[in-house]
């Protein structure tokens, strides 16, 4: 971590969390952040759903909701970026306060409710994206939409020409009844519309599905079956949780989705269950609680071809991505793996038990 970041993080924590988040994005865009450029090595280079990645450490959706910092984020050490979620129409999201730091738990609770500038603005920004790097978009639905399932296809059709991949997000807990779309019948119908929109793009891009951690084994198996039949290219496991087990911070009872360290065990088990159920039929992306190279390797061994992070950067700064990538390279070598791919799923059965 650079001296600038060491000085800046305590200052950011003096502001309320949402204000600090906005200042962090501004710092990126004005050059006041460490940007080491691509972090890669023969061990770290990998392929995800046909996308060539310099390393398997990705930025999860939610950090750059409106695709405002694509340039600097592309130079921050990540192997790929996911921005959004974006809905067809702009919406303000839920009332503030809606973001809470749980410092003792190294966690975050948010109830943003898909606040964003809408697909028209997002498409304009994505059209100016860096030419290099892998950038995807998290697709969302408007809270007051008459047809939420159709919203995902609309955003993809409007923004897809500027993307390397897109993610269907039916797992946010902050839009009422959105998670109902994870049911097998509703999900199959929704994905059919998304795949039709994909077919109309100038080049078909990989479509991912992001699921919740608060699912039964039966629900996990049903979702995996629907995703495979729909022709999706990957599943992201997982979004935030509604669980509050083991929390100590005074904000522990705030409504919203919990992310950060407390999610690590739960999300990794869902990931491993998917790995066992799908038997390698599609790649998986592990997200939830990743804050170190050891966490990244744990996710990979549980079945992830790549991982994503976000909440840990609240406490560790933007340089965390590069540090995890470099640490993962060292850890893979120490464990005798010549590549990320060799490590994928080597402990999936144990984690799924």
> Is there a contact between 84 and 67 (Cβ–Cβ < 8 Å)?
yes
**Dihedral, CA atoms, 137, 138, 142, 143, nearest 10 degrees?**
-160
327 in the Ramachandran plot: left (φ > 0), alpha (ψ -120 to 50) or beta? alpha
> Is there a contact between 235 and 282 (Cβ–Cβ < 8 Å)?
yes
CB atoms within 10 A of CB 32: 14
Q: 41, 103, 145, 172: which one is catalytic?
A: 172
Q: Which residue has the tokens 């310099």?
A: 54
> Is there a contact between 329 and 41 (Cβ–Cβ < 8 Å)?
yes
Q: Is omega for the bond preceding 238 within 30 degrees of 0, making it cis? A: yes
Which among 152, 218, 149, 209 is positioned nearest to 180, based on CA atoms? Answer: 149
140 is written with which tokens? 């969302």
> Is there a contact between 108 and 68 (Cβ–Cβ < 8 Å)?
no
Containing H/E element for 309?
strand 306-309
103 is catalytic: no
Q: CB-hemisphere CA count at 13 Å for 353?
A: 4
Rounded CA gap, 234 and 92, in Å?
A: 30
Which among 32, 36, 46 is positioned nearest to 75, based on CA atoms? Answer: 36
User: Exposed e or buried b for every residue in 313-344, given b needs 16+ CB within 10 A?
Assistant: bbbbbbbbbbbbbbbbbebbeeeebeebeebb
> Is there a contact between 189 and 229 (Cβ–Cβ < 8 Å)?
no
- Known catalytic residues are 172
């Amino acid at each position: 971590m650079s001296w600038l970041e060491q000085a800046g993080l305590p200052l950011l924590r003096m502001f309320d969390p949402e204000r600090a988040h906005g200042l962090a994005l501004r710092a990126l865009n004005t050059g006041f952040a460490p940007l080491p450029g691509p972090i890669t090595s023969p061990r770290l280079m990998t392929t995800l759903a046909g996308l060539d990645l310099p390393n398997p450490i990705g930025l999860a959706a939610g950090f750059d909701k409106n695709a405002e910092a694509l340039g600097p984020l592309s130079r921050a050490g990540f192997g790929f970026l996911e921005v959004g979620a974006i809905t067809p129409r702009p919406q303000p999201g839920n009332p503030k306060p809606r973001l809470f730091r749980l410092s003792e738990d190294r966690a975050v609770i948010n109830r943003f409710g898909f606040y964003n500038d809408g697909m028209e603005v997002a498409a304009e920004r994505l059209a100016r994206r860096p030419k290099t790097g892998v950038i995807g978009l998290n697709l969302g639905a408007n809270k007051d939409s008459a047809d939420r399932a159709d919203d995902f296809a609309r955003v993809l059709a409007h923004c897809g020409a500027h993307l390397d991949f897109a993610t269907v997000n039916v797992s946010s807990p902050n839009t009422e009844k959105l998670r109902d779309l994870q049911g097998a019948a509703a999900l199959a119908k929704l994905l059919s519309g998304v795949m039709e929109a994909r077919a109309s793009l100038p080049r078909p891009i990989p479509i991912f599905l992001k699921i919740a951690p608060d699912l039964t084994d039966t629900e996990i198996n049903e979702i995996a079956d629907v995703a495979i039949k729909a022709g999706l290219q990957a599943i992201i496991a997982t979004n935030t949780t509604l669980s509050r087990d083991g929390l100590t911070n005074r904000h522990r009872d705030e409504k919203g989705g919990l992310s950060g360290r407390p999610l690590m065990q739960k999300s990794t088990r869902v990931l491993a269950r998917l790995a066992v159920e799908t038997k390698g039929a599609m790649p998986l992306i592990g997200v939830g609680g990743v804050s170190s190279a050891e966490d990244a390797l744990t996710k990979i061994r549980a079945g992830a071809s790549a991982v994503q992070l976000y909440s840990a950067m609240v406490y560790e700064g933007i340089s965390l991505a590069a540090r995890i990538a470099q640490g993962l390279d060292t850890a893979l070598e120490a464990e005798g793996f010549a590549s990320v791919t060799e490590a994928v799923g080597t402990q999936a059965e144990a984690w799924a038990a």
